[in-house]
Amino acid sequence: MDRLYKNQSLLYKYFLYVVSIFCIVFFFPKGGKFKYEFQKGKPWQYENLYAPFDFSVKKTQEEISAEKQKVIDGQLNYYRFNEATAKEVFDEYDTEFVKTFKPEEHSTAELAMLKKTGQDILDRIYENGILQKSNSNEIGKQVYLIKQNEAYQINYDDLYRVRDVEGLMQRILEKKRLGSYTNAFQSVFFNLIKPNVEYDENLSKMALEEELSKLSLTRGTIDEGKLIIAKGEVVESDNYMILESLKGEFESELWASNNYYYILAGYTVLVALVLMMLFLFLKKYRNEIFENGTKVTFIFINILIMVFVTTLVVKYNEAFVFVVPLCILPLILKTFFDARLGLFVHVLTVLILGFVVPNSFEYIFIQIIAGIVTILTVSELYKRANLFISVGQITLIYIVGYLAFHIIHEGNLDNIIWLTLGLFLLNGMITLFVQPLIYIYEKIFGLVSDVSLLELSDTNSKLLKELSNRAPGTFNHSLQVANLAEAAANEIGANAMLVRVGALYHDIGKLSNPTYFTENQITNANPHDDLEPRDSARIIINHVIEGIEIARKNNLPDRVIDFIRSHHGTTLVYYFYKKQKELGGEVKQEDFKYPGPTPFSRETAILMMADSVEAASKSLKNPTFMVLDEFVDKIIGGQMAANQFLNANITFREIETIKKIFKHRLTNIYHLRVEYPE
């Protein structure tokens, strides 16, 4: 059980490894992988390829779209003739006629002739009927009119609108020389005429779908054994479509029931190899990250998110694959870790996505170049202008890369798909949302970015303001240490912003008892004079523990708390230790030692040196160049002799560089000048 407890971190990583492999393989599209890589405009690099089986050659999307449009343009819509409405009009005609043409005003022969004329007008109108709603798009076209359950093909212009009735009536009356009765017939037809022809949307839609379903998605077949392409032959539009058709047929046939588990196993092995490379890289070059389960989980979650989003987009429409802002991945990892890890993870993620995306070589090439540009251009992300400039450069690389591949494929810049260029711009806009994403990750995983460090470095923040009011000496000491440490970190390539923030907060534990520390004593009265040396040492040592508690109450990140915890390492409070020994009796060194741990990074080591040098320099009365030189060597040499830097990833050369920076800065602080002769 103890062994299991000791290895729980390693077991968790195994679990994370297996779950990640399963999720990635599960995301993958269900299909085999064609064993040949080819690109339009490039020579065929393999041996002569013969058709392994009979297959159909698929049409391009452009051809299919053109054929569909042709069917849509030539489609005849259906209109339905309402017999009941027409019959109702004819039935009501007699009543309306009698109301207008009274028997006492006309002779019987005249009434018969007028009534017959009205019926002729109605027959003419309702021969094809009157439209309920006209459609200008149908003018001049043929349509189907469904009358008595039979469809007749007629000209759309032969269907009357209500406004056409008056003109038709006048023409018939003029022809029969009955123009004087126009007003009378208008009053007859005013309330009588009703539209009775309606567009049949359902039937028209069904007919269109039926015609579209008849379209063939292929254009001929390739027989088994036929030469498809010879070695060295350039892949052009015709044989490119044949190869694409073979690829699709091959992958669909390969994903058969008997091959399912073999293909799944192949994908699993390849993904496992990629993720294993990530674990090996972390173990060998980033062991502090490898040992931290939260950070490893963070890296794997980001990889899974990118794979999942890209796969989802490819399944929806593979043309939108470049809208996925993949460069967010190296951006985030560089922000929280370092550039090399960000680029390494980005390349591994792109390799995994090569199984999913179309034109994998093109995709991998462009994405890796974009990732490198991201790593090289993005710096000081807390400056807003830098992010906009970097995203602009990334977008430009995408566009230039796409155009270069287009020229290779097509031989010119014709037929550029402008939608793809728009997708690159959209990709850049989405990448700008990395800032709120970084903030969310900070809160979820407890990580720290340069943006947060910049906020923490503000001396007007609540905690630093309280320190400056209650312990002004400690506050000024912290500022001096921050300046020294930041200069040293810049010189050796450490995280200067992190060191500065750590220096500003490293002594906040002195807020509990500020007057017990020399820099805050404004009178000659020293409270330590009334205490036993052992008790005084305990108060001095406790400022580390109390500082950690204050930091946690104020929600300072763990990376900043590390500076509070380790800035004295396991050194001895030598003054009170010596004083206790002078009093006699048994004295244990452990009672006068800081609890540690010792510094475990370059940044924490720099702070320890800067803190000791700055504090001790206050005791120098008449500093000279020689005195400062020996003084800095003595302080840092003593820390090295006490093995305070064994766990810090810092070299002797870097320590020597730090010494030089401290000496130079202290010289400026004390304004040392050449002594001029009198």
Annotate 374-396 with three-state secondary structure: HHHHCCCCCCHHHHHHHHHHHHH
Boundary-marking domain end, from 383, 408, 438? 438
Q: Please state, as a whole number, how many other Cβ atoms lie within 10 Å of the Cβ of residue 551.
A: 22
Q: Does a structural domain hold residue 212?
A: no
Question: Looking at the structure, do residues 409 and 457 belong to the same domain, yes or no?
Answer: no
Q: Does a structural domain hold residue 547?
A: yes
Using DSSP, state whether 59 is helix, strand or coil: coil
- Residue 194 contacts residue 85 (beta carbons within 8 Å): yes
pTM of the model: 0.64
Q: Which helix H or strand E contains 47, and what residues bound it?
A: none
Q: Does a structural domain hold residue 55?
A: no
Q: Find the domain containing 105 and state its range.
A: 78-199
Question: Looking at the structure, do residues 486 and 427 belong to the same domain, yes or no?
Answer: no
Question: Looking at the structure, do residues 289 and 398 belong to the same domain, yes or no?
Answer: yes
Which residues, other chains included, contact 569 with Cβ-Cβ below 8 Å and sequence gap of 6+? 594, 596, 597, 598, 599, 608, 639, 642, 644
Using DSSP, state whether 223 is helix, strand or coil: coil
Question: Looking at the structure, do residues 291 and 344 belong to the same domain, yes or no?
Answer: yes
Question: Looking at the structure, do residues 409 and 538 belong to the same domain, yes or no?
Answer: no
Q: Does a structural domain hold residue 51?
A: no
Question: Looking at the structure, do residues 478 and 562 belong to the same domain, yes or no?
Answer: yes
pLDDT value at residue 246? 72
- Residue 587 contacts residue 577 (beta carbons within 8 Å): yes
Q: Does a structural domain hold residue 228?
A: no
Question: Looking at the structure, do residues 417 and 466 belong to the same domain, yes or no?
Answer: no
pLDDT value at residue 192? 84
pLDDT value at residue 661? 92
Closest CA to 266 of 25, 26, 23, 20: 25
Boundary-marking domain end, from 438, 462, 477? 438
Question: Looking at the structure, do residues 588 and 636 belong to the same domain, yes or no?
Answer: yes
Question: Looking at the structure, do residues 463 and 434 belong to the same domain, yes or no?
Answer: no
How far, CA to CA in Å, does 241 sit from each of 37, 144, 222, 650? 14, 39, 12, 59
* Pairwise CA distance, residues 595 & 53, whole Å: 76
pLDDT value at residue 256? 54
Task: Please name the residue ranges forming H helices in 59-100.
Answer: 61-74, 83-100
CA atoms within 13 A on the CB side of 39: 14
* Pairwise CA distance, residues 237 & 231, whole Å: 17
How far, CA to CA in Å, does 613 sit from each of 484, 485, 527, 667? 9, 10, 25, 13
Boundary-marking domain end, from 184, 199, 214? 199
Q: Does a structural domain hold residue 629?
A: yes
Question: Looking at the structure, do residues 533 and 652 belong to the same domain, yes or no?
Answer: yes
For 2, counting Cβ atoms within 10 Å of its Cβ (0-12 exposed, 13-18 middle, 19+ buried), the class is: exposed
Residues of the chain predicted below pLDDT 70: 1-7, 29-37, 39, 41, 249-260, 379-384, 409-411, 415, 585, 671-678
Question: Looking at the structure, do residues 517 and 630 belong to the same domain, yes or no?
Answer: yes
Q: Does a structural domain hold residue 545?
A: yes
> Based on the structure, what is the number of domains in the chain?
3
* Pairwise CA distance, residues 567 & 653, whole Å: 21
pLDDT value at residue 469? 92
Q: Does a structural domain hold residue 208?
A: no
Question: Looking at the structure, do residues 501 and 641 belong to the same domain, yes or no?
Answer: yes
Please list, residue by residue across 473-509, b when 16 or more beta carbons sit within 10 angstroms of its beta carbon and e when fewer do. bbbebbbbbbbbbbbbbebbebbbbbbbbbbbbbbbb
Cα–chain-centroid distance for residue 114? 80
CATH number, position 554: 1.10.3210
Which residues, other chains included, contact 226 with Cβ-Cβ below 8 Å and sequence gap of 6+? 50, 51
Phi, psi of 235 (to 5 degrees): -75, 110
